[in-house]
Amino acid sequence: MELFITIFAGLFSIINPLGTVPIYVGLTSEESKRNRNKTCLLTATNVLMILLISFFVGNYILKFFGISINSLRLAGGLIIAASGFSLLTGSFAKHKGMKRKSVQDDLEKRSEISLTPLAIPMLAGPGSISYLIGTRQTHDGNHEVLQILLAILAVCISVFLILRSSQLIVKALGASGINAVSRIIGFIVIAIGIEYITKGVIEIFGQIVN
């Protein structure tokens, strides 16, 4: 159960569905309630598929390109820390590329937003993908894999519930409240990224010494 809680907390913080709420509300403001609920379900489903593919196929991709787990930890740690820093400084949307004019123009033409930009890169981005690939490398027991899969499922259910309740969340917390929560989560995400980098550095240094 401890592994489940650890993975859930880490993955939820990196994905940060609360930070996506204002963007989701803005993109679906003219949609009917039925269409918004459909988008929530499709987004959570797409996130689940992306995370599962990353967890099970990521190791083979690393082997194909000859990337070591320590290199992944360093690169993934930098991405995760950068994502956390963007939350801490209030530039989350800009960090995800949502402020670019070309992206805004593309969104205005889109009728379906559940896969892009919501599922990827807003939710299941490089940070969460590298986090799961690294997790798969260090936890390969059947019981551990089951706990991780349950944690992934729980995170995706949380994404669905948060997006579906986005209108209520915005009314209750407001933009300033969501921003405050995102900054707290950002601090946690930075710590996760630093921990990831530290593990990689220690492993590399140990290999050099030995």
Q: What is the pLDDT of residues 12-62, one digit of tens each?
A: 999 989 888 888 888 887 788 888 899 999 999 999 999 999 999 988 888
Over 80: is that where the pLDDT of 167 sits?
Answer: yes
| Other beta carbons within 10 Å of 23 | 19
Cα-based distances in Å from 71 to 78, 172, 196 = 11, 42, 11
Which segments of the chain are extended strands (E)?
none
Q: What is the pLDDT of residues 132-141, one digit of tens each?
A: 998 888 888 8
Per-residue pLDDT at 63 = 86
Type and span of the H or E element at 27: helix 17-27
The confidence band for 97, taking pLDDT boundaries of 50, 70 and 90, is low
Cα-based distances in Å from 157 to 31, 46, 178 = 22, 12, 20
Distance CA 132, CA 51 (A): 7
Choose from 66-70, 94-98, 152-156, 193-197 the range with maximum mean pLDDT.
152-156
Q: What percent of the chain has pLDDT over 70?
A: 90
Mean pLDDT for the chain?
Answer: 85
